A and B are shown apart, each in its own frame.
Chain A
């Protein structure tokens, strides 16, 4: 099974067509939005949709909570893992 962290990174790159960025360039504990990777709110729309479809996780919590799940690759990984554990 593919490492979840790597899977998230390649999903980000594929979904947003990030040219010239390889999975190694995305630092797992750096913010995805704003300062770190520099994604914007439109990216967040697309990424949310892709994560929901790819990992089959529901995004039914509040906007604020969802945003905190999507803060970095690490938080996203924790979110997906904890959802899987409840299943």
Chain B
């Protein structure tokens, strides 16, 4: 048990991440995004060489994607490409936080769908994954009529990181809610937000260290992997429209993909087990779809298929 927990993604130390990000942020502000990319290259080379567990996890993932899409096994260029895409996503994130991502950088074809969904002044839950860069949706909030976004995050992972985020986040339209603070009044809190027409974003690809049994084993890229049940149960309790949201970078542009998922999401008690499983499967199929289109945008650098 302790071994299992020790290797859970949330247990990875983030020492130095705070100062690293602090440094990156100021470099970004002072030098701009093009010059910082020159520094990014040696940094990502360093991580690629040093971080063998991330490298192995990435290889396992890429091999599976290549396998299901009928491509040759990943080359060293494909493998570094995955790390490079992640490095670039960090820089894009800095841009999003400092408010430098403008509407023109983000393609959002189904904008109307979002408006229709929240038209009767009731908000929605948007389920996402660590696929692409959800931070780009900040641009959405900034440029859209008084849209408020709440993002549920696991902050025990990186309190210092979020502190930094809070310091630079002058944008009050994005609110971070800690999942570690889940309590019996969480639904009430989120219900109020939904009733006020706000959006609640939650990622459903990483399992929680606190509830290791609340998972579904679902086929993902050819092998079963654990996905959390929590985000789906939470969505069903809120009884509001649920959609999937991914923001994937393709050809240098951020594409926001929004897909209706359920309205509301119903998980009847009697057949709950089967219902949750089907729901998770439906979600994973869409995640898989985007992984096949943009393999490099998958940002889970740990052994995803670990039992």
Question: Smallest CB-CB separation from B272: which chain A residue?
Answer: A17
**Residue interface bits A41-60, CB-to-B below 8 A is 1, else 0:** 11011111101100000111
CA–CA, A46 and B272, complex, Å: 14
Q: Is B183 an interface residue (CB 8 A)?
A: yes
Chain B interface size band reads 20 to 34
Question: Smallest CB-CB separation from B210: which chain A residue?
Answer: A41
Contacts A48-B188, A59-B188; A42 near B183 (Cβ below 8 A): no
Other-chain residue from A17, A52, A63, A69 in contact with B269 (beta carbon distance below 8 A): A17
Q: Is B185 an interface residue (CB 8 A)?
A: yes
The majority secondary structure among interface residues of chain A is: helix
A49 near B181 with CB under 8 A, answer no
B230 near A42 with CB under 8 A, answer yes
Q: Is A67 an interface residue (CB 8 A)?
A: yes
Other-chain residue from B188, B213, B272 in contact with A52 (beta carbon distance below 8 A): B188
CA–CA, A63 and B208, complex, Å: 19
B185 near A48 with CB under 8 A, answer yes
CA–CA, A39 and B24, complex, Å: 42
B184 near A44 with CB under 8 A, answer yes
**Residue interface bits B170-187, CB-to-A below 8 A is 1, else 0:** 000000000001111111
CA–CA, A64 and B214, complex, Å: 23
Q: Which residues of A contact B230 (CB under 8 A)?
A: 41-42
Q: Which residues of B contact A59 (CB under 8 A)?
A: 184-185, 188
Among A42, A47, A48, A49, the most chain B Cβ lie within 10 Å of the Cβ of: A42
Interface residues of A (CB under 8 A from B): 17, 40-42, 44-49, 51-52, 58-61, 63-64, 66-67, 69-70
6 further interface pairs, Cβ-Cβ under 8 Å (given A40-B210, A59-B184) = A42-B214, A48-B185, A58-B188, A63-B182, A66-B183, A70-B184
